[in-house]
């Protein structure tokens, strides 16, 4: 195992990795911006270093500063968390060139799967179903032609990045040229790559993702699936495992497809294959996330496997000691993302004047919050993740309602009341809900 790891991130995921390292006897190095000088991850790490101003590009996206700290402190590995550099092939390559281990797949795999157009081709060659669509679009005129050929509605999607950016829905082919230009400009601004492709919009679909855990010795495991259909503006709000509407035979085929995709690219570490699933039993590959997911705790609860610890062990060259037959998910887990925002999604920041965190058996709150801290305006709005586990879905829903009712955050707005509305929604309670579930709760969320 590594002796010292640098965590190139902030907030709850930095705290999550630091805690795993402490349990494994590994020293940790934190980096922080001037806005995060008093952040929890800074206090918990064995060593902490300021690497720049509050803007991400001046600190958490400052590659030279991060690599300098890693080299000078003797860190032998860098954990990127999620976001920032977690799916940046150039950064992973620079880490490797410094003789340091990047905790994740190889730069080559990140590069291949980060190009979503290329990932579609890999999936097709691996026999994994893909959504009907087209390859990269060159001009607005071509966008109109392809939208007409495929048939609306369609989605124009950036080949790079993620997080819902660089995506536009087109309901009329005549709108496709303008939508392509908008998506391309947004993608270029967010990811430095304005290339886009087009897919058929699959109406009333479920967003289901399969968790991968792969070592360097050829073992490829799937750890069940997560239902991630509760979304606003392509941003996930709530996740659960298992997916209540997924038949066992489809689940087995979907997991087999995920393993085939991982084998096709020689994947190592933790990763996720995202699918669209329709009520008629079909599923389609969407994309591969070559990093630890925000929602990984629901999988940890149902499998009993600490994904962060195994991510670190695999990166250090360890072989997985279990087989696919050993993976037997039990019970049901739900995660609610607690964001610093109003019900309508307007970001909030400020000083946390009061904080009460729910507790009890199988209740977990992954967060970097503490009373008296200031939530800065420069970063993602995620305050924390509330996760519960129970033997049945119904019990898990009741447990989450209780936990949300007990959670109290004052000084900044949060979305816990919206989460309670979701948990009481008849469509959600049925277990057969789709990615448009928020349309009636928040009509402006589409």
Phi, psi of 89 (to 5 degrees): -65, -35
Per-residue pLDDT tens over the stretch 276-327: 999 999 999 999 999 999 999 999 999 999 999 999 999 999 999 999 999 9
Per residue in 403-441, pLDDT (tens digit) is: 999 999 999 999 999 999 999 999 999 999 999 999 988
The mean pLDDT value for 202-224 works out to 96
* Nearby residues of 265 by Cβ (< 8 Å), 6 or more positions away: 109, 112, 113, 122, 288
The mean pLDDT of 161-168, rounded to a whole number, is 81
User: Which pTM does this prediction carry?
Assistant: 0.93
Largest CA-CA distance found in the chain, in angstroms, rounded: 60
- Choose, from 291, 313, 337, 364, the residue flagged as catalytic: 291
What 8-state DSSP symbol labels residue 347?
Answer: B
Query: What is the Cα 276 distance to its own chain's centre?
Result: 16
Contact 337, 385 (CB under 8 A): yes
Is residue 161 pLDDT above 80, yes or no?
no
Q: What is the pLDDT of residues 244-272, one digit of tens each?
A: 999 999 999 999 999 999 999 999 999 99
Average pLDDT over residues 198-213: 95
- The domain locations on the chain are 4-103, 132-200, 206-445
- 295: closest CA among 340, 240, 254, 255? 240
d(CA 349, CA 50) in angstroms, rounded, equals 22
Asked if residue 444 has pLDDT above 80, the reply is no
In angstroms, the Cα distances linking 64 to 8, 91, 96, 436 are 12, 10, 14, 42
pLDDT at 446: 47
Closest Cα partner for 255 from 299, 211, 217? 211
Q: Which CATH code for domain 206-445?
A: 3.30.470.20
Q: Tell me: domain 132-200, CATH 3.30.1490.20, correct?
A: yes
pLDDT band for position 116 (50/70/90)? confident
Dihedral sign of CA atoms 174, 180, 185, 189 in order? positive
Q: What is the CATH number of domain 4-103?
A: 3.40.50.20
Q: Is 343 a catalytic residue?
A: no
CB atoms within 10 A of CB 78: 30
The percent of residues above 70 in pLDDT, for the chain, comes to: 99
pLDDT, mean of residues 230-239: 93
Residue 164: predicted pLDDT: 76
């Amino acid at each position: 195992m590594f002796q010292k790891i640098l965590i190139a991130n902030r907030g709850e995921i930095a705290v999550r990795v630091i805690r795993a390292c402490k349990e494994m006897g590994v020293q940790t190095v934190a980096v922080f911006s001037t806005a995060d000088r008093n952040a929890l991850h800074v206090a918990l790490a064995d060593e902490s270093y300021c690497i720049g101003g509050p803007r991400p590009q001046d600190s958490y996206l400052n590659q030279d500063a991060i690599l300098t700290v890693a080299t000078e402190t003797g860190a032998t590995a860098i954990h990127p968390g999620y976001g920032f550099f977690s799916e940046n092939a150039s950064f992973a390559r620079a880490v490797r060139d410094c003789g340091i281990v990047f905790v994740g797949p190889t730069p080559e795999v990140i590069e291949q799967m980060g190009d979503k157009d290329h990932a579609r081709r890999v999936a097709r060659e691996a026999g994994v179903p893909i959504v009907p669509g087209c390859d990269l679009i060159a001009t607005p005129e071509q966008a109109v032609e392809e939208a007409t050929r495929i048939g609306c509605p369609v989605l124009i999607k950036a080949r790079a990045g993620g997080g819902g950016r660089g995506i536009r829905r087109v309901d009329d082919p005549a709108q496709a040229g303008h939508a392509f230009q908008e998506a391309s400009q947004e993608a270029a601004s967010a990811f430095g790559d304005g290339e886009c492709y087009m897919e058929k919009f699959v109406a009333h679909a479920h967003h289901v993702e399969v968790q991968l855990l792969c070592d360097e010795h050829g073992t490829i495991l799937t750890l069940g699936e997560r239902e991630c259909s509760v979304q606003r503006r392509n941003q996930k709000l709530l996740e659960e495992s298992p997916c209540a509407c997924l038949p066992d035979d489809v689940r087995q085929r979907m997991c087999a497809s995920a393993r085939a995709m991982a084998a096709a690219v020689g994947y190592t570490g933790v990763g996720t294959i995202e699918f669209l699933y329709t009520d008629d039993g079909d599923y389609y590959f969407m994309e591969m996330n070559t990093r630890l997911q925000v929602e990984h705790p629901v999988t940890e609860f149902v499998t009993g496997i600490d994904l962060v610890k195994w991510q670190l062990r695999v990166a250090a060259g360890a072989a997985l000691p279990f087989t696919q037959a050993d993976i037997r998910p039990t019970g049901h887990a739900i995660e609610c993302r607690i964001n610093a925002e109003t019900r309508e999604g307007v970001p909030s920041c400020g000083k946390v004047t009061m904080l009460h965190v729910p507790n009890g058996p199988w209740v977990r709150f992954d967060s970097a919050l503490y009373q008296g801290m200031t939530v800065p305006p420069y970063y993602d709005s995620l305050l924390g993740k509330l996760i519960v586990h129970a033997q049945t879905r119904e019990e898990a829903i009741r447990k989450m309602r209780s936990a949300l009712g007990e959670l109290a955050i004052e000084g900044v707005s949060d979305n816990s009341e919206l989460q309670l509305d979701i948990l009481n929604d008849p469509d959600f309670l049925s277990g057969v809900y789709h990615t448009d579930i928020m349309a009636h709760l928040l009509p402006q969320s589409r």
